[in-house]
Chain A
């Protein structure tokens, strides 16, 4: 499945993830946590399909429950005592707080899993190449080198295996010796070949003054519009944070601002922000369905 949000300019992607992950970390209000967690799960499923479902339920759900269960065992603050375990009070506040902290933790992890899919190495290199141009080339060269070294070590190891000198042959000492030997071959090989790479770079003018950095990305009107949407949803959330709508006090007893028209608007805005990638995708789907029906 192709994700529309990924097709925006890297800066849009990056800012979006920074904002969403920050919000998820700082707003401990249950409504906010719920919105963030649900949206993160939905988006990760949209991006990764069946793999994300497995990940979320097999790993994230146990983590969430474990956190929630552990917190009241160690944290005994709170006014509402539910029962005692070996003279230690278990409080409702600690239980709720544990659940909230776990939800925060899990939602941040899931947001990061989405970030990984959307922010490919290309985009990352592009963004940081803007700040430090030399870095972008170095990163790109490193990304080229790693798979090559991996393939080469595989090849050397196979060749050595066939003369009985691989890291899987012989006793422990022999294996270590053979392993080191393979590594030394790899290093010799890498240096030898780096000379060619250096020649190829020099011959294509590397080292001339005023090197530019080319990218496939262009910040167009659509990206501007997306930035606008992000801000449109983000500003009410900030307003909510300043007026205390997003705050919650867990100890000694849970205290939140009562639900009002203002808080409702803040919730909706936050929901909009978190669901924005999915909204873009749905809008795009509708557009395509319409285009096709017109043909």
Chain B
């Protein structure tokens, strides 16, 4: 119970030339854990949505899907609702009711079960997922990770035989994401539920998947065990390869005929075998050239902040100093005050003690106009909050509405900004129709029209895949070269390690350590990149995949 057979499925959206799915053939066996990966817009979601009739998008469709040997359309709504569980991407949007217990019972109520049975099921699920402690709470009191766990639990309460998850962790921070994936693994292992999961952060989930399907422009290019898929992508030099876990990428960058490692532990063993009997002499990665000046643009001096007079301090005794043209990134766990610090810098909130200086002048003394035009640009965590018009172009023009430029000059400026953020082909689209990475860049372009000298970014890589991350980084690097200072808050260690000049670790409302990226990460033993964790016994200062690959090649 719980198998799928997809036979030559082709699907195209209305008014679209290219099929979104192109002759997909795949089988999912009962109890299997299948991972589906691919770039944004490759058809992952479209494929998954076809596996449940009520969610299937409208369009032209050929081919057949069998669920437990029978055509899927033949299974009635009741069977599909209870047997095929579906968890969507956004934790907030999926929650329907205001109480945790009510949400858990929602599906069972729909199925029309009596109260006694629902009570038992709900109790079972709450215990299995460790929800007892927040069972009676309002859903607004939960964290993002808890919300997604609640969504999973309320689907599991209906005891489905197949669980489908569409990028369930893209909106979660790394700790919450790994906790969530751990639970999914547990469901697969202990309940034998078939799992189909699409994901772009593969580090953790790839090693446990039974089979991996790689989609590219609607085609199934590869469907095999993780190791074989790694090999395949490497041989094809496929774009998706950049999403593979660090050990796989490093393995691929070094010519060798050993077995492909998937986890950090395997990667260490692989390195040991690679260098067994050889002397490793060259252990220092190349130093990044530092291109920022010594001039200070942002300075925080003993800053304290709390939301209520009797509340706890969110930011306490914080001092930091950012220099002109620097890419400064703040990393650290959830709720340590990172975003609050960014809000302090953008003057959305004010400190109750201490001083913030911008270009040597007190931040509180700036007028709004002085502060936000040609000075400070802020990119919010959710780019959707910035869009106000029907098309991206109109949205961009909106930013210039207060200036005295002529129409032609405005258009010229908008075009330049669009080019800078690589959005030229999308200017006539509705901002909400763009994918996450494109929205992020559109919002950035909008902010850039105010010609900021300092850019504040709040988790710019949240929910976007490797391809878009690279694009975003290229845009930001370009800006940095024109002298723009970047202050970024992020959970994405790999991204910070690759691009930032300086990293600072936030803990308990304060910076506990900071330094140039390379020495910062190689000094940490847990809070560091996978490449560093895997290779630190040989190359203690190598931080990025490229560092390790280069050192491996040098030492052979």
Residues of A that sit less than 8 Å from B by CB: 121-122, 137, 140-141, 143-144, 147-148, 151-152, 155-156, 158-164, 169, 181, 184-185, 188-189, 192-193, 196-197, 199-216
Partner of A204, one of B114, B155, B376: B155
Contact between B109 and A211, CB atoms less than 8 A apart: yes
Measured CA separation A140–B386 after assembly (Å): 30
Contact between B55 and A156, CB atoms less than 8 A apart: no
Known A163-B386, A212-B112, A214-B119; contact A204-B81, beta-carbon cutoff 8 A: yes
Partner of B55, one of A140, A147, A181, A202: A202
> Cβ of B348 < 8 Å from any Cβ of A?
yes
Contact between A185 and B387, CB atoms less than 8 A apart: yes
**What are 28 A-B contacts with C-beta separation under 8 Å?**
A143-B98, A144-B97, A152-B385, A158-B380, A158-B385, A159-B378, A159-B380, A161-B348, A181-B388, A188-B387, A197-B95, A200-B88, A200-B93, A200-B94, A201-B96, A202-B54, A203-B54, A204-B158, A205-B110, A205-B111, A207-B77, A208-B110, A208-B112, A210-B112, A211-B109, A213-B109, A214-B115, A214-B122
Pick the 10 closest A-B CB pairs, nearest first.
A205-B81, A196-B93, A162-B378, A205-B110, A210-B112, A204-B107, A159-B385, A200-B94, A143-B98, A159-B380
Contact between B368 and A204, CB atoms less than 8 A apart: no
Return the chain B residue nearest A213 by Cβ.
B109
Measured CA separation A161–B349 after assembly (Å): 12
In chain B, positions 100-118 with a C-beta closer than 8 Å to chain A are 101-102, 105-115, 118
Return the chain A residue nearest B443 by Cβ.
A159
Contact between A155 and B380, CB atoms less than 8 A apart: yes
Contact between B372 and A162, CB atoms less than 8 A apart: yes
Contact between A122 and B99, CB atoms less than 8 A apart: yes
Measured CA separation A201–B95 after assembly (Å): 9
User: What is the CB-to-nearest-CB distance from A153 to chain B, in angstroms, rounded to a whole number?
Assistant: 10
> Cβ of B128 < 8 Å from any Cβ of A?
no
User: What is the CB-to-nearest-CB distance from A151 to chain B, in angstroms, rounded to a whole number?
Assistant: 8
User: What is the CB-to-nearest-CB distance from B459 to chain A, in angstroms, rounded to a whole number?
Assistant: 13
> Cβ of B481 < 8 Å from any Cβ of A?
no
If A196-B94, A200-B96 are given as contacts, then 20 extra A-B residue pairs at C-beta distance below 8 Å, sorted by A number, are A122-B99, A140-B102, A141-B96, A144-B98, A152-B385, A155-B380, A155-B385, A158-B385, A159-B380, A162-B346, A163-B386, A164-B372, A193-B93, A197-B94, A200-B95, A202-B54, A209-B112, A210-B112, A212-B114, A215-B115
Partner of B447, one of A148, A163, A192: A163
User: What is the CB-to-nearest-CB distance from A195 to chain B, in angstroms, rounded to a whole number?
Assistant: 8
Partner of B118, one of A202, A204, A214: A214
CB-CB under 8 A from A148, the residues of chain B are 92, 140
Interface of A is mostly: helix
> Cβ of B86 < 8 Å from any Cβ of A?
yes
User: What is the CB-to-nearest-CB distance from A178 to chain B, in angstroms, rounded to a whole number?
Assistant: 9
Return the chain A residue nearest B372 by Cβ.
A164
Contact between B110 and A184, CB atoms less than 8 A apart: no
> Cβ of B440 < 8 Å from any Cβ of A?
no
Measured CA separation A151–B142 after assembly (Å): 14
CB-CB under 8 A from A205, the residues of chain B are 77-78, 81-82, 107, 110-111, 158
Measured CA separation A213–B118 after assembly (Å): 10
Partner of B386, one of A121, A160, A216: A160
Return the chain A residue nearest B154 by Cβ.
A204
CB-CB under 8 A from B368, the residues of chain A are 161, 164, 169
Contact between A214 and B385, CB atoms less than 8 A apart: no
> Cβ of B446 < 8 Å from any Cβ of A?
yes
User: What is the CB-to-nearest-CB distance from B218 to chain A, in angstroms, rounded to a whole number?
Assistant: 21
User: What is the CB-to-nearest-CB distance from B382 to chain A, in angstroms, rounded to a whole number?
Assistant: 7
Q: Name, among A156, A158, A163, A169, the residue most crowded by chain B CB atoms within 10 Å (CB to CB).
A: A163
User: What is the CB-to-nearest-CB distance from A212 to chain B, in angstroms, rounded to a whole number?
Assistant: 5
User: What is the CB-to-nearest-CB distance from B83 to chain A, in angstroms, rounded to a whole number?
Assistant: 11
Measured CA separation A201–B139 after assembly (Å): 16
Q: Name, among A162, A196, A199, A215, the residue most crowded by chain B CB atoms within 10 Å (CB to CB).
A: A162
Contact between A144 and B386, CB atoms less than 8 A apart: no
CB-CB under 8 A from A209, the residues of chain B are 112
Residues of B that sit less than 8 Å from A by CB: 52, 54-55, 77-78, 81-82, 86, 88, 90, 92-99, 101-102, 105-115, 118-119, 122, 136, 138-140, 151, 154-155, 158, 343, 346, 348, 368-369, 372-373, 376-378, 380, 382, 384-388, 399, 402, 432, 446-447, 450
User: What is the CB-to-nearest-CB distance from A213 to chain B, in angstroms, rounded to a whole number?
Assistant: 6
Measured CA separation A253–B465 after assembly (Å): 85
Return the chain B residue nearest A133 by Cβ.
B109
User: What is the CB-to-nearest-CB distance from A216 to chain B, in angstroms, rounded to a whole number?
Assistant: 6
Return the chain A residue nearest B54 by Cβ.
A202
Measured CA separation A137–B343 after assembly (Å): 37
CB-CB under 8 A from B385, the residues of chain A are 152, 155-156, 158-160, 185, 189
CB-CB under 8 A from B378, the residues of chain A are 159, 162-163
Q: Name, among A143, A185, A205, the residue most crowded by chain B CB atoms within 10 Å (CB to CB).
A: A205
Known A204-B110, A214-B119, A216-B101; contact A163-B446, beta-carbon cutoff 8 A: yes
CB-CB under 8 A from B432, the residues of chain A are 188, 192
Partner of A203, one of B55, B95, B377, B450: B55
CB-CB under 8 A from B139, the residues of chain A are 144
CB-CB under 8 A from A211, the residues of chain B are 109-110, 112
Q: Name, among B102, B122, B346, the residue most crowded by chain A CB atoms within 10 Å (CB to CB).
A: B102
Partner of A140, one of B99, B119, B154, B348: B99
User: What is the CB-to-nearest-CB distance from A162 to chain B, in angstroms, rounded to a whole number?
Assistant: 4
User: What is the CB-to-nearest-CB distance from A252 to chain B, in angstroms, rounded to a whole number?
Assistant: 55
User: What is the CB-to-nearest-CB distance from B388 to chain A, in angstroms, rounded to a whole number?
Assistant: 5
Return the chain B residue nearest A205 by Cβ.
B81
Measured CA separation A147–B78 after assembly (Å): 32
Measured CA separation A143–B97 after assembly (Å): 8
Measured CA separation A111–B139 after assembly (Å): 29
Contact between B113 and A212, CB atoms less than 8 A apart: yes
Measured CA separation A202–B98 after assembly (Å): 18
User: What is the CB-to-nearest-CB distance from A295 to chain B, in angstroms, rounded to a whole number?
Assistant: 25
Measured CA separation A155–B139 after assembly (Å): 19
Measured CA separation A185–B446 after assembly (Å): 15
CB-CB under 8 A from A161, the residues of chain B are 348, 368
Partner of B95, one of A144, A181, A212: A144
Partner of A212, one of B92, B118, B348: B118
CB-CB under 8 A from A144, the residues of chain B are 95-98, 139-140
Known A155-B380, A207-B110, A214-B108; contact A137-B97, beta-carbon cutoff 8 A: yes
Measured CA separation A152–B93 after assembly (Å): 12
Return the chain B residue nearest A169 by Cβ.
B368
Contact between B373 and A164, CB atoms less than 8 A apart: yes
Known A158-B348, A185-B387, A208-B77; contact A197-B96, beta-carbon cutoff 8 A: yes
User: What is the CB-to-nearest-CB distance from B227 to chain A, in angstroms, rounded to a whole number?
Assistant: 33
Contact between B115 and A212, CB atoms less than 8 A apart: yes
User: What is the CB-to-nearest-CB distance from B162 to chain A, in angstroms, rounded to a whole number?
Assistant: 12
CB-CB under 8 A from B155, the residues of chain A are 204
Measured CA separation A209–B81 after assembly (Å): 13
